[in-house]
Structure 1
Amino acid sequence: MMRLLLVVAFLVVPVLEILVFVQVGQAIGVWPAVALLAAGSLLGALVVRREGRKAWRKLQDAMQAGRMPEPGAPGGAMTVAGGVLLAVPGFLTDIVGLLFLLPFTQPLVRGLGARFLARRIENLTRKTAGSGLGSPFGDVGSPFDVMRDQRPGSGPVIHGEVIRDEPDRPATRDSSRDLTGR
């Protein structure tokens, strides 16, 4: 379903952009319309460049301080996405890009995005659970299941051979005990 939606979007959006450009060109003239598209693309490129530099600086600062870089804030990702949409030529993508950039519309767009992602995750989980396939993580379950209820010594016993290399004695083999010392 998502692939079909993407194909339709890639086919419909360019056609709509051309229709809107023709309408704007008839209303204000072709060259002013082209100038507006060029200005939008330039603004988008500048926004993406500025946000990219900001993210690069944060990464360098974190590395120099010897700490893990902070995960990107949703506002920064939205700003980059808005800049990319502005850089794409077209009035419709410029409008959506501006919605991502303007401070008073960002909370609305962020809320819509969060709801969309939550719905997608819920649908994927429901589809996987209802199909008899088990966990979305395969037969092993969730990676977090391994950490749950683990106590030292509660895991499986692995039988093996202990080889001790001591500098003052030759290597000896002790196969009478397993690796847990039993």
Structure 2
Amino acid sequence: MRRSRLAYLPFVFPLLAFAEFLTFVSVAHAIGFGWAILVLAVSSLAGLALLRREGIRGWRAFQEASRAGRPPGAGVSNSLIGLFGALLLAIPGFVTGVAGLLLLVPPGRTLARRGVERLAERRLGGAATSDLFGPRKVRVHQSGPVTVVVDDAPPPPRPAAGAIEGEIVR
């Protein structure tokens, strides 16, 4: 029987608290207790301000996509990842603060968004993912039975013999 990942949460939170404590002690030893408290306070206030901004941005992205008739997934997932990063930044702690900052900078946000799209595709299937995030790029090779390969990378410069390239659109 497969064990749910939620079963591990009671172990994760105490480990996170212990890691935060060790990190705080190390930083306080390096820069001083007062400065460490000041850095935590400033990062928490910045996280709270970013929570509001990212929430409003996500709502506007959803409304815009709905009005234009586009799939809302890409813009909304990008904003939700920013919202989660702001939430991590708002939680007092250096480990969660660094994780939040990584989700707020564009390269980290892009990697997380791609991960969310892959997870959605595994859990929901290709049709539902296409409705959420737009058409997927695929290559179909005709050698025996038809094989469909989902590929987000740009196609190779020359298609192989017997290959049909294109996008799946409703």
Give how far 1:55 is off.
3.7
Q: Which has a greater percent of helix?
A: 2
Answering whether residue 95 of structure 2 is matched by residue 92 of structure 1, we say: yes
Matched, 1:32 2:35: yes
Aligned partners of 1:68, 1:93: CA distance in 2, in Å?
Answer: 37
Q: 1-side partners of 2:115 and 2:27: how far apart? A: 29
* Higher RCO (C-alpha 8 Å, min separation 6): 2
Provide the TM-score with structure 1 as the length reference. 0.55
Mapped to 1, the partners of 2:112 and 2:47 lie a distance apart of 18
Identical-pair percentage: 36
Deviation of 1:5 after TM superposition, in Å, equals: 1.8
| Structure 1 alignment gaps of length 5 or more | 126-182
Compared CA separation, residues 81 and 3, structure 1 to 2 (3 A): same
- Structure 2 gap ranges (5+): 126-170
Contact 1:99 1:109 in 2 (8 A): no
Larger Rg: 1
Match of 2:16 in 1: 13
- What CA RMSD, in Å, does the superposition of the two structures yield over aligned residues? 3.0
Aligned match of 1:103: 106
Number of equivalent positions: 120
Which residue of the partner structure matches residue 180 of structure 1? none
Equivalent residue letter for 2:56: R
Instruction: Tell me the CA shift for residue 111 of structure 1.
Output: 3.3
TM-score with structure 2 length normalisation? 0.58
